[in-house]
Structure formats: structure tokens, C-alpha cells
Amino acid sequence: NPTDVPGLPSGIPEFLVDSGIEELYPPQAAAVEAGVTRGDSLVASVPTASGKTLIAELAMLSSVERGGKALYVVPLRALASEKKAEFERWADFDVDVGISTGNYESSEEWLASRDIVVATSEKVDSLVRNGAPWIEDLTCVVADEVHLVDDPNRGPTLEVTLAKLRRINPELQVVALSATVDNADEVADWLDAELVASEWRPVDLRTGVHYGDAITFDDDSRREVPVGRGERPTAALVDDALAEGGSSLVFVNSRRNAEAAARRQADVTERHLDDDERDDLAALAEEVAGVSDTETSDDLAAVVRKGAAFHHAGLSAEHRSLVEDAFRDRLLKAICATPTLAAGVNTPSRRVIVRDWRRYDGEFGGMKPLDVLEVHQMFGRAGRPGLDPYGEAVLLAKDHDTMDELFDRYVHADPEPVQSKLAREPAMRTHLLATVASGFARSRDGLLDFLDRTLHAAQSDTTERLESVVDSVIEYLVANDFVERSGDELAATSLGHTVSRLYLDPMSAAEIVDGLRAAEDPTALGLYHLVCRTPDMYQLYLKSGDRETYTELCYERETELLGRVPSEFEDVRFEEWLAALKTAKLLEDWASEVDEDRITERYGVGPGDVRGKVDTAEWLLGAAERLAVELELDSVVAVREAKKRVADGVREELLDLTGVRGVGRKRARRLYEAGVESRADLREAEKSVVLGALRGRERTAERVLENAGRQDPSMDGVSAAEGAAVDDG
Ligand code: ADP
């Protein structure tokens, strides 16, 4: 029980007991037994929702109690704020928590004063690259979801970062939290850590497959869930859970599907609401709609009003927490989510429905089955401790063969082993440059020696493959002037240092540098196309007919494009050039105030995809700006403006207005049309005109005026000016 745990700051064990942790869960007790509060390293491989976070907290608190400093590494930005909010309850015990989410390329020195810092692995990697001095003070590092070292895109960063932190402080306590995987012992070997592996869960879990008119569970029991004519199985399952007062979490494979499914589930949940719930949901919907001036806000509010929601990486943090809290409070009855929600947000549900077990995979070139590990993580969200007698996780099958396949593939199967992906060339390009730039290695041998501390080395018998990748990456970095070689010595050039700090794939940097050198006064389209050509941008696919459309556009606007158009005979390169052009055109449309609806229709993408492209473009253009400064190129101003326009989705003349918090592209345009053309105008304008342009929303208008620095923003007694209050249509 918590009061028997050694090494914690005084008062904390009692606090835990008071907050409902009367007894440690078995894996937690095992972790304490293994010395996690005495500074010993540990790998905890236990199911989702079985109290891994508390294991980490015990480690961090005891480390702080001994005068140390702890770092909690999360895989997603969304989780960082969630974890920070969770850890803030230790403030009463003089343990301060900080979150590092700022831009890359800063060392955030104020974090030095915090006892616990929460950050993503990318952010930690960049803090190390930027030489944040407090990194040396760390005594305890927690790696949340450490099984993600297996992820081809982001895994290598986590792997290299842990290796660097352990090199900086060889005594560092590492606490790695993992989903249940087969080879957790290998991870423990790599980290020189004790292993706690357990299948224990606080609520029983039944897993099964729905086919026809029933769910068949793993213990061969059945539950009748008939599907009516014209009804979808997911709706029948949500309805069935609600009949017993249970909520449902539905996992689908894309943002667009999550939104569409939420609209359908809302019709089901709506039937189960009582009057009080309707009122509460109406208030919640208002709040959701008020978060931002976007389609997503409106769409989310519309389903929330009926008791359902969608949840995906395209939601803002505010939306996400409103949805998650209301689901935990059981006000929302169903959430349709992409797998991000499974990755650690604490939202248990009576029933989990894995509707899509395949997802489009670009590299694979088609629909690919999800990993067992990923599906088990979703399963793990089933069952609310203390509320549900058990949790139910259900897959859907259309026919008998699929049902058999799903049982074999997911219900009875063990998760895949975790395998390092570090030897891939794109990962190596980035990490070897960073390793040289931050002085962790100064020669080829030094690099190989550093890599010897990675999971990759722990998992492979020979170093041949690694050596050949290292050699070709060194050649590449030298050829592009990021690294200088003299004899055996390797050192980063000034350009190489900048690229490393900017957190760019060196290949992206090389493309950008070449492109910027080609033009003094590039257009926005030219710049968008340039950043869309880099490997850091996922390009849109060319659909049938697109080749003709964009070939034509390519020649029409050839003078704007930076660099030489590949010949049409260079099939693959030309194709990529066009895909980049299509993506760039989307960005140009966005920065020319084309409606989001028009864009999603024109390019066949979801609103979240537009957001994703815009965010990436903003980041890459910010990096391009820095490179232009570094190389003293004339294009700096053009790059900065193109960046701002894409970030805010507006033409040049609105940039001043969109700089005011709460003013998005649509509000800015309406204000501008009403004669309010700048921040300064906002401070002077007739309130009735502002209110009219903001569609009579008083609170919004007040907030906007306040953000613009107006002395007296109150709208009391003001009514919207006639004519300006145009209809929403
Ligand atoms: P994981 O990180 O393993 O997915 P969490 O740490 O989020 O799981 O724990 C899930 C829930 O269980 C949290 O709400 C947490 O407060 C609660 N919990 C953790 N340990 C205990 C315990 N020993 N007794 C009661 N509740 C606990």
C-alpha cells in the first residue's frame, strides 16, 4: 500500500490514499519491489490502463525527493499537455512541472527551474541539439509508450534520444513504459533495466467479433446483437451498449471516417438522452462551437448536441479536452476516433468497437491490416474501473471467414516484437548530422561507437549493414556541405549546425537551399512548391486526370517554380514534381482565402488534411526563412510573407488582422469588408460595426477587441450595425 513505498516526499503516500489509490496495483507493487523508487532503471510492460503512469510518478517523485530532476517523454504533443495537467497535482508538495512544447530551435532555459519536465521525444532531441544546459541535471527519464521505438518514422528519434541522455549521464535512471510486447526483455537489456512484465488489468476484458446477429467472445460465450434492416452493425452495437447504460468508443481508420461515423452514431445516442442531458449537451455544444472559427468547430458542435463526438489529431487541444472530459463524465455516449486516442489518452469506455482493422498505407500501396499491438491498445480502453463489471472489445466481420481471420489475427494473437528501425537511411541522415553537430561523435568510429548504445545494436549480431548505411550517409552530408571531413575528423559546418537545430531532414534542407539560391524574389506558389518537394512533406496523391491538369499548370506557371522542371521522360521525378505542385496549389488556394469546403472537395481531402499540410508548410517555411538568413539570400522577406499567409490562410492585406487572437480568416475578411482593416482600426472602430462583422456574437466581439488592445471592450447595450450583419450563408 502507498504508505509502505520508500523514498517519496512526505505527505504523498497519504495524498494517494485520499485520492482513491488505497492499494497499489500488482504491477505497481512489483515496480516498487524492483527498486523504481530507489533510482533503479525499469521496463514496465503492462496492459493499457493498468496504472503505468503511477509507476512513472513514483519514480519521478522519489528522484526529485533525492534532489534530482525528472523528464517525462511522450510520443505525441497532445499527450504532453494531458500529462502535465495530471502531474500538476504535485504542486502542493513543492514539485513544479513544466511542459516543453515551444518551437524547435530553442533551449527553453526557464525549464531549468522545474522538477519535472514533460516533452515529446522530438522536442527532447532538439533540446539536446540546442544544448539546453539543464539536460545535464536530469536524474530520471521516463519513456512513455516505449514500444513505439518500432515506429519507422518516429521510433529512431526516441531510440537515439535515450542513447544520448544515457551518454550525458551514465547514472541516469530510465523508466520505460510499454504496452505488453513479447520481447520487452530485449528492451530491458538495452536499457540495463529490471523488467516488470504483467498481463494484469484492473477490469476484466472480454474480446470478441461481431458477425451476423451476435458477438462471439473469446471464451465462446455469445451476446445477441441483431442488426436491423438498413442498420449498420456499429450503430446496433452502440445502441445495444447504451441499452445497459454503457458508452462506446468506435475506432475507425481516418479523420474523415471518424467525422462521418460520429454523424451516424449521433442519431443513435440522441434516442437515449433524457431532458437534463439534452440541456447539458446543448451548453457543451455552444462551448465547442465557440472554441474556434472553423468548420471543425461547427461539425463537432452539431454531433455533441446529440451526445456523440469525433476525435482525431486534427482537433484542437481545447476541443479534445472538452470531448474527453464529457465522455468520462458519461455525458457523451459515443466517440468515433482515429487510433490517436488509443495511444494513451485516458478515456475508458464500456465497449470498444474496432470498426476498421485496415488502413491505407502509402508505402504498402493499399489497405494494410493494423498491427496486433495497435488493436490491443484499442481493446485496452474497454472497461471503466469501478464503473463497469467488465469491458468489451469487439471487432466487426462481414462474413464467416473474416470472423475466423479476426480471431486468429487479433483475438488469439500476441503482439509483434518491438524492432529497431534506426538503420533506415532517412532516420540516419537526420540523426548522424545531429550527433556530429552536438559533439557526441567526431569521426566515423565515434559514430559507430555511439550507435552501439542503441536498441538497434542490441538487436543485431553484425554491424555490416549499419556500417554501410553510416558510410553512405556521411558521403551525403559531406557532399551537401553539412559536414566537413579532414582526415578521420568529422565536424558540422555552420550550415549543418543550423539544419540540425532546425530539426530538418538534411535532404529537405538541401532541396530548400538549392531552390532559394535559384530565385531572388520567389512567389508564394514557387515557395510552396519548393517545400512540398522535400521529404518532410507528405504530398497529395495524383488521381486520374490530375496528371494532365497539373502538367498544364506546371507549364503555365513554370517561371514561378524554383529549379528546373524534370523532363517528362524522367517518369518518377516528373510525377513527384506534379504531386508537389498539386499540394502547393492547395496551399496557395488556402492562402488566397478559398473556402475550406471548396478545397476539401477540389483536392479530395478532409479538413484535417488541409490543417496538416498547412502546419507542415508553416514549419518548413519557417526553416527556409532561417536558412535564407544564414545564407544571406534576398528571398528572406518573400519567404516570411508566404509563411504568414499560409499559416493564417489569408491574402496579404489581412495579415495584420489575423495577428489578433480570435480572428481567423473568415472573421478577418468580414471585418475588412466592413472597413476595419487593421489591429489599429479595431481599437478605434464603431463597436456596432465590429459586432455586425462578427455576426452579433457579443462575447466573441469583446474577446477580439480585448485581444486587439482596446481599453473598453464591453458590448453592453451595443447592437450590430445594419447591413454588416450578413447572413451565414
Ligand atoms: P496506463 O498509463 O497504464 O494506460 P493509467 O496510468 O492512465 O494507465 O491508469 C488508469 C487509471 O487507473 C487512472 O485513472 C489512474 O488514476 C487509476 N489508477 C492507477 N493506479 C491505481 C491504483 N493503484 N488504484 C486505483 N486506481 C489506480
Q: Is the pLDDT of residue 265 over 90?
A: yes
Q: What is the pLDDT of residues 114-153, one digit of tens each?
A: 999 999 998 898 888 888 889 999 999 999 999 999 988 8
d(CA 401, CA 29): 43
**Backbone CA torsion sign across 290, 315, 653, 588:** negative
Confidence band (pLDDT; 50, 70, 90) for 466? confident
User: Please, what sign has the CA dihedral across residues 455, 460, 463, 464?
Assistant: negative
Best residue among 24, 54, 205, 341 to mutate for probing ligand 1's pocket (most ligand atoms within 8 Å of CB) is 54
Instruction: Compute how many other C-beta atoms are within 10 angstroms of the C-beta atom of residue 275.
Output: 7
Q: What is the C-alpha separation between 377 and 374, in angstroms, rounded?
A: 5
pLDDT at 102: 61
pLDDT at 610: 85
Res 686 pLDDT > 80: yes
Least trusted range by pLDDT, from 198-207, 443-452, 716-725: 716-725
C-alpha to C-alpha distance for 282 and 288, rounded to whole angstroms:
10
**Mean pLDDT over all residues of the chain?**
91
Q: Which three cell numbers stand for residue 533?
A: 518537394
Q: Is the Cβ atom of 25 under 6 angstroms away from ligand 1?
A: yes
Amino acid identity at 185: D
- What spatial distance separates the first Cα and last Cα of the chain, rounded to whole Å? 61
Give me 529's grid cell.
512548391
- The x, y and z cell numbers of residue 433, run together, are 548530422
Determine the longest span between alpha carbons in the chain, in angstroms: 79
Domains of the chain: 2-197 (3.40.50.300), 204-411 (3.40.50.300), 425-502 (1.10.10.10), 506-649 (1.10.3380.30), 651-729 (no CATH)
Question: At 679, which helix (H) or strand (E)?
Answer: helix 679-684
pLDDT at residue 231 in the model? 92
Q: Is the pLDDT of residue 727 over 70?
A: no
User: Which of 4, 21, 58 has most ligand 1 atoms within 8 Å of CB, for mutation?
Assistant: 21
Interval 360-370: pLDDT, tens = 776 666 788 99
pLDDT in tens, 307-344: 999 998 778 778 888 999 999 999 999 999 988 766 66
Q: Which helix (H) or strand (E) holds 61?
A: helix 52-65
- Which candidate, 484, 494, 439, 527, places its Cα nearest to that of 631? 494
* Closest to 484 in 3D by CA, of 451, 524, 437: 437
Exposure on the CB side of residue 668, measured as CA atoms within 13 A: 25
Ligand 1 atom showing the smallest separation from residue 344 Cα: 4
pLDDT computed for residue 592 by the predictor = 97
- The minimum-distance atom of ligand 1 relative to the CA of 50 is 3
Average pLDDT over residues 162-191: 94
Checking if the pLDDT of 425 tops 80, the result is yes
Instruction: Name the least confident of 249-253, 309-313, 511-515.
Output: 309-313
What is the Å distance from ligand 1's center to 202 Cα? 9
Q: Is the pLDDT of residue 725 over 50?
A: no
Backbone angles phi, psi at 293, to 5 degrees: -95, 60
Q: What is the structure's pLDDT at 343? A: 65
> pLDDT category, 105, cuts 50, 70, 90?
low
Q: Who's near 521: CB < 8 A, 6+ residues apart?
A: 634, 635, 638
pLDDT range class, residue 264, cuts 50, 70, 90: very high
Q: How many CB atoms lie within 10 A of CB 668?
A: 27
Could you report the per-residue pLDDT of 369-412, keeping only the tens digit for each?
999 999 998 999 999 888 888 899 999 999 999 999 999 999 99
Give residue 616's identity as a one-letter amino acid code. Answer: T
Q: Is 377 in the pocket of ligand 1 (CB under 6 A)?
A: no
Using the mean position of ligand 1's atoms as its centre, give its distance from the Cα of residue 176 in Å: 16
Q: Which atom of ligand 1 is nearest to the CA of 22?
A: 24
Most confident among 154-158, 420-424, 622-626 (mean pLDDT): 622-626
pLDDT score recorded for residue 341: 67
Of 56, 76, 58, 75, nearest to 66 by C-alpha is 58
Give per-residue pLDDT as tens, 567-605. Answer: 878 888 899 999 999 999 999 999 999 998 899 889 988
Could you tell me the distance, in angstroms and rounded to a whole number, from the CA of residue 112 to the centre of ligand 1?
29
Residue 359's contacts (CB-CB under 8 Å, 6 or more residues apart) are: 253, 254, 367, 368, 370
Tell me the mean pLDDT in the region 438-462.
91
CA of 127 to the centre of ligand 1 (A): 30
Mean pLDDT of 515-524: 92
HSE-CB at 712 with a 13 A cutoff on CA atoms is 5
Q: Name the residue with higher pLDDT: 356 or 363.
A: 356
Cell of residue 598, nine digits: 471548396
Mean pLDDT value of segment 188-210: 95
| Owner of C-alpha cell 481567423 | 664
Buried b (16+ CB within 10 A) or exposed e, 539-573: bbebeeebeeebbebbeebeebbbbebeeeeeeee
pLDDT (mean) for 9-23: 92
pLDDT level of residue 104 (50, 70, 90 thresholds): low
